[in-house]
Amino acid sequence: MHRWFQDWSLPLGTDRLGRDVLAGLFHGARTSLAVGLASAATAIIIGTIVGTLAGFIGGLTDEVLMRVTDAFQTVPGFLLALAFVSVVGPSLFVVVLAIALGTWTGPARIARAEVLSIRERDYIASARVIGMPPLEIAFREVLPNALPPVLALSSVIVAAAILTEAALSFLGLGDPNRVTWGGMIAEGRTVLRSAPFLSIIPGIALVLTVLGVYLAGEGAVETTATRRGRS
Amino acid sequence: MRRAFILLRRRLIGSIPVLLIVVVGTFLLLEAAPGDAVDAYIGTTGGDAGLIESLRQSWGLDQSAGTRLAAYLWSLAHLDLGYSVTFSRPIRDVIFERLPNTLLLMGSATALSFGLGSALGIVAGARPGSFRDRFLSIGSLALYAVPGFWLGLVLTVIFSVQLRWFPSSGIETIASGKTGFARTLDIAQHLALPVAALGVIYLALYLRIMRAGMAEVWRMDFVLAARAKGLSRRRIVIRHVARNALLPLVTMLGLQSAAMLGGSVVIESVFSVPGLGRLAQEAVSSRDTPLLLGIILVCAVLVIVINLVVDIFYAVLDPRVGASEEAA
pLDDT of B261-305, one tens digit each?
888 888 998 888 888 888 888 888 877 778 888 899 899 989 888
B209 Cα distance to chain centroid = 19
Question: pLDDT tens-digit profile of B45-80?
Answer: 777 778 777 777 776 666 777 777 787 788 877 777
Q: What is the pLDDT of residue B54?
A: 79
- HSE-CB at B251 with a 13 A cutoff on CA atoms is 9
B contact test, residue of A35, A87, A109 with most B CBs within 10 A: A87
Q: What is the pLDDT of residue A228?
A: 55
Question: pLDDT tens-digit profile of A70-111?
Answer: 889 888 889 999 888 888 888 889 999 999 998 999 899 988
At a CB cut-off of 8 Å and minimum separation 6, what does B45 contact?
none
Q: What ipTM was assigned to the predicted interfaces of this complex?
A: 0.85
The predicted model gives B302-314 an average pLDDT of 85
Contacting residues of A for B280, CB less than 8 Å apart: 79, 82
Contacting residues of B for A167, CB less than 8 Å apart: 147-149, 266
Question: pLDDT tens-digit profile of B29-42?
Answer: 877 777 666 676 67
- Is the separation of the CB atoms in B191 and B102 below 8 Å? no
CA distances from A14 to A3, A7, B159 (A): 7, 10, 25
pLDDT at residue B179 is higher than 80: no
d(CA B29, CA B11): 27
Q: Could B258 and A75 be called an inter-chain contact, meaning their C-beta atoms sit closer than 8 Å?
A: yes
B contact test, residue of A74, A156, A164 with most B CBs within 10 A: A74
Question: pLDDT tens-digit profile of B211-230?
Answer: 888 777 777 777 778 778 88
Which ranges constitute the DSSP H helices of chain B?
2-31, 37-45, 49-58, 65-77, 91-126, 131-144, 148-155, 180-218, 221-229, 233-235, 243-271, 276-285, 289-317, 323-327
Q: Could B150 and A68 be called an inter-chain contact, meaning their C-beta atoms sit closer than 8 Å?
A: no
CA distance B315 to chain A (A): 21
DSSP conformation class of A169: H
A contact test, residue of B150, B205, B267 with most A CBs within 10 A: B150
**Is residue B161 very low, low, confident or very high in pLDDT (cuts 50, 70, 90)?**
confident
Which among A74, A86, A163 has the least Cβ separation from residue B300? A74
pLDDT over 90 percentage in chain B: 5
* Spans of chain A below 70 pLDDT: 225-231
Q: Could B284 and A193 be called an inter-chain contact, meaning their C-beta atoms sit closer than 8 Å?
A: no
d(CA A60, CA B173): 55
B171 touching A (Cβ < 8 Å)? no
DSSP conformation class of B158: I
Chain B, 271 to 310: residues with Cβ < 8 Å from chain A are: 280-281, 284-285, 287, 289, 292, 295-296, 299-300, 303-304
At a CB cut-off of 8 Å and minimum separation 6, what does B274 contact?
B98, B101, B170, B171, B268
Chain B, 72 to 111: residues with Cβ < 8 Å from chain A are: none
Q: What is the pLDDT of residue A231?
A: 42
The predicted model gives B153-158 an average pLDDT of 89
Long-range contacts of A59-67 (CB under 8 A, 24+ apart): A62/A112, A65/A108, A66/A112, A67/B17, A67/B18, A67/B21
Q: What is the pLDDT of residue A40?
A: 93
A128 Cα distance to chain centroid = 35
Question: pLDDT tens-digit profile of B3-31?
Answer: 777 777 887 888 888 888 888 888 888 77
- Give the predicted TM-score (pTM) of the model: 0.86
Which is more confident, B323 or B119? Answer: B119
3-state class (DSSP) for residue B164: coil
d(CA B58, CA B76): 19
Average model confidence (pLDDT) across chain B: 81
**Is residue B210 very low, low, confident or very high in pLDDT (cuts 50, 70, 90)?**
confident
3-state class (DSSP) for residue A10: strand
CA distance A117 to chain B (A): 23
The predicted model gives B222-241 an average pLDDT of 77
d(CA A129, CA B219): 44
Q: Could A75 and B287 be called an inter-chain contact, meaning their C-beta atoms sit closer than 8 Å?
A: no
Which among A80, A86, A88 has the least Cβ separation from residue B284? A86
CA distance B198 to chain A (A): 13
d(CA A94, CA A97): 5
Which among A71, A208, A215 has the least Cβ separation from residue B22? A71
**Among B284, B254, B13, B47, which Cα is nearest to A87's?**
B284
The predicted model gives B80-89 an average pLDDT of 78
d(CA A225, CA A178): 39
Beta-bridge partners for B89? B84
